Amino acid sequence: MADYDLTRRPRRLRQTPAIRDFVTETRLHPADFILPVFIADGIDAPREIPSMPGVYQHTEDSLVEICREALDAGVKCVDLFGVPREEDKDATGSVAVREDGVLNRAIALLRKEFGDELIIMTDTCLDEFTDHGHCGVLVTDAHGREVVDNDATVDIYCDMAVAQARAGAHIVSPSGMMDGQIAAIREALDNAGYQDVAIMAYSAKYASKFFGPFRDAVGSSLKGDRRTYQQDPANVRESLLEAELDVAEGADFVMVKPALPYLDVLAKIAEASPVPVAAYQVSGEYAMLNAAGQNGWIDYEETMMEALMSIKRAGADQIFTYYAIEAAKRLNG
């Protein structure tokens, strides 16, 4: 056997679990996770989402139960999405701003149940609530194209954010990628007396096919695509600009969505950002890993934890993941 004269043997620091833990560079913690949850109007029992096994549209009772389970595991924040009845959808998503709308009722329920113990984040977007499935108001432009009206949409986002704050949201998260939305929402919240309600900006949200299962989750009515307002997957500099603008407009957090296919974008934004940076492990990422695990092609739990670690390693301070409770329990031992 050759006797190599090696000064450096990096394997020395990999020899036992204790040594590996001693020198680990990146750590996940349950408080890093944000659990997206769906509350649906008009159902009397939790309804599993076919393309996202293990994820449900919730009733009010089961919503409280899963939020309590998250808290018990150390997950301190949920991101709440409302799923209205089909008959409540209209061209402007008006149910999104109504006090008796499904989302605002759920916010009030959670705030009453948990107070400030649970951080209630809310999706401040119209796609779940419009009958056409787009994130804003549709108009016909001078060339005869049906497009989303940026400024008219931002006006509704402002009303929606104030309604969510009034219901009890700690953080609003405008995800529609409208220009100027953060500044307008910040002004609306401040003028309404909600200076302490924070804004999570979906700064780098791409027009991604990884969102597919989410549309099952919210019963989306989308026709066409969102490429005129969500970002081109080929672009990176554009994301840096969007994050910079959002911070200048008053964002308290910025976000990259999706996460795993855009780790390069996440790393660049994390390096430049003066505010916390989140990343969203989206429905398609979850569904692919879940399906591969169910088929025995991968070790689902270990692969999911590796994926979450990669998102953290790339620079995410917070991670949106449908696996939040399971990941937290694993980290708790």
Q: Which pLDDT tens digit goes with each residue over 30-57?
A: 999 999 999 999 999 999 999 999 999 9
Per-residue pLDDT reduced to its tens digit, 146-174: 888 999 999 999 999 999 999 999 999 99
Record the tokens describing residue 77, joined without a space: 């924040």
* 209 a catalytic residue: no
Domain hosting 53: range is: 27-331
Indicate whether 302 pLDDT > 80: yes
pLDDT value, residue 1: 66
pLDDT computed for residue 40 by the predictor? 95
CA atoms within 13 A on the CB side of 226: 28
Is residue 32 included in any domain, yes or no?
Answer: yes
Q: Which two three-digit tokens encode residue 131?
A: 């009958």
**Domains: count for the chain:** 1
For residue 315, which of 21, 7, 14, 26 has the smallest C-alpha distance?
Answer: 26
Within a domain: 21? no
Does 305 map to a domain? yes
Annotated catalytic residue within 89, 112, 205, 223: 205
Check pLDDT > 70 for residue 93. Answer: yes
Tokens 């020395």 appear where? 12
Residue 5: inside a domain: no
Strand partners, 198: 171
User: 205 catalytic, yes or no?
Assistant: yes
**Domain containing residue 229: CATH number:** 3.20.20.70
**Domain assignment present for 18:** no
Catalytic, out of 257, 268, 312, 329:
257
Considering the domain boundaries, does residue 258 fall inside one?
Answer: yes
| C-alpha to C-alpha distance for 155 and 75, rounded to whole angstroms | 33
210-221 pLDDT per residue, tens: 887 777 776 666
Least confident stretch, 86-90, 278-282, 311-315: 86-90
pTM: 0.94
Q: Does residue 13 lie in a domain region?
A: no
Q: Is residue 14 part of a domain?
A: no
Q: What is the pLDDT of residues 191-239, one digit of tens each?
A: 999 999 999 999 999 998 888 777 777 666 667 677 788 889 999 999 9
CB atoms within 10 A of CB 249: 17
Residue 129: how many other CB atoms lie within 10 Å: 28
